[in-house]
Amino acid sequence: MARPLDSITREALVERVRFYRDLGLTEFYRRPLDPALLAAIAEDAGQPELIEPVSAEALRPALYAELGHAESHEEHTIPARRSFPAPPEIAAAVASAERAAGLEVIREDIGDCTRCALHKGRNKLVFGDGSPTARIMFVGEGPGADEDAQGLPFVGKAGQLLNNMITAMGLKREDVYIANVVKCRPPGNRTPEPVEANTCSPFLFRQIDVVRPQVLVALGATAATYLLGQRQPLAGLRGRVHAFRGMQLIVTYHPAFLLRDPRQKKEAWADLQIAMRELGLKPAAKG
Ligand code: SF4
């Protein structure tokens, strides 16, 4: 038998549902509410004894009423909202485990994806990697051969260079989040076709929305094009901060390009220093 919700616990639940709604994760409403999540929320609110266990069906009417929506699930269709930022106190209250859960929902939604032609040549889908609460997120173009084999982004030679760049910024790879515009390897490492990038990039946007880094770094022209929604030469986009959905977006060269033309590393470092300034980071001491 479900017990009545304490007002503090109810407010914590409502804030949590608002957070997911702000992320556009409307699917959240249609999934069974996880008893472990409910217990964690109750504990956050200092009321651990209140959830033992309250059924999801019992909770939904109370949550919908608090949010000012119809109680009926069928009538309750909340459109995805793409504006940012969500209230910072709500964002701050969301723990790492919950963001990880948000990423898992996206991964589940992608599934064994055949939405575009790139699925035909892939070995492993490359979803993303890193900290769900990263303050900085790097976005590349798509997986290469090593990434396709391992199912992880930036693990080949370009990945080693990216790791070095991250270390030079005074960070560790596990501090950042890394993803690509497309999650399956384009044949011969060609640039993704617009139809492929446009089909896949909504998943990237959802990942960004969940991780919600302070700074995004677009690695190369393809990432810059699909994040900013405009095709421009890289030279015109580098060297400054772009406003992006309440975050700061920096554009720089793709590490694979820097491997081909190492003279541009200095320029890339100048771009990363802009990101570091935004994050209040100092360069790593040379060992
Ligand atoms: Fe699906 Fe993206 Fe892979 Fe295309 S690239 S098949 S949209 S996961």
Residue spans per domain, the chain: 5-76, 88-279
With CA atoms as reference, report the closest residue to 106 among 84, 80, 128.
Answer: 128
Residue found under tokens 């022209």: 221
What's the 220 CA to ligand 1 centre distance in angstroms?
20
How many of the other CB atoms lie within 10 Å of CB of 34?
Answer: 11
Please give the pLDDT value at position 98: 86
How many of the other CB atoms lie within 10 Å of CB of 226?
Answer: 23
Residue 38 Cβ inside 6 Å of ligand 1? The answer reads no
Dist CA 21 CA 14 (whole Å): 10
Residue 116 Cβ inside 6 Å of ligand 1? The answer reads yes
Least confident residue range of 30-34, 218-222, 244-248, 256-260: 30-34
| Cβ atoms 275, 218 nearer than 8 A | no
Residue 101 Cβ inside 6 Å of ligand 1? The answer reads no
Give, in order, the Cα–Cα distances in Å from 210 to each of 20, 23, 85, 135, 222. Answer: 9, 7, 12, 12, 22
Residue nearest ligand 1's atom 2 by CA? 200
Please give the pLDDT value at position 283: 73
Residue 125 Cβ inside 6 Å of ligand 1? The answer reads yes
pLDDT of 3 above 70: no
Strand ranges (E), 83-214: 129-130, 136-140, 177-180
pLDDT digits (tens, 9 = 90+) for 144-203: 999 999 999 999 999 999 999 999 999 999 999 999 999 999 999 999 999 999 999 999
pTM: 0.70
State which ligand 1 atom lies nearest to the alpha carbon of 142.
5
Please give the pLDDT value at position 218: 98
CATH class of 88-279: alpha beta
Dist CA 132 CA 100 (whole Å): 6
pLDDT of 52 above 70: no
What's the 230 CA to ligand 1 centre distance in angstroms?
21
pLDDT band for position 97 (50/70/90)? confident
What's the 110 CA to ligand 1 centre distance in angstroms?
8
Percent of the chain with pLDDT over 90: 62
What's the 235 CA to ligand 1 centre distance in angstroms?
29
Residue nearest ligand 1's atom 7 by CA? 200
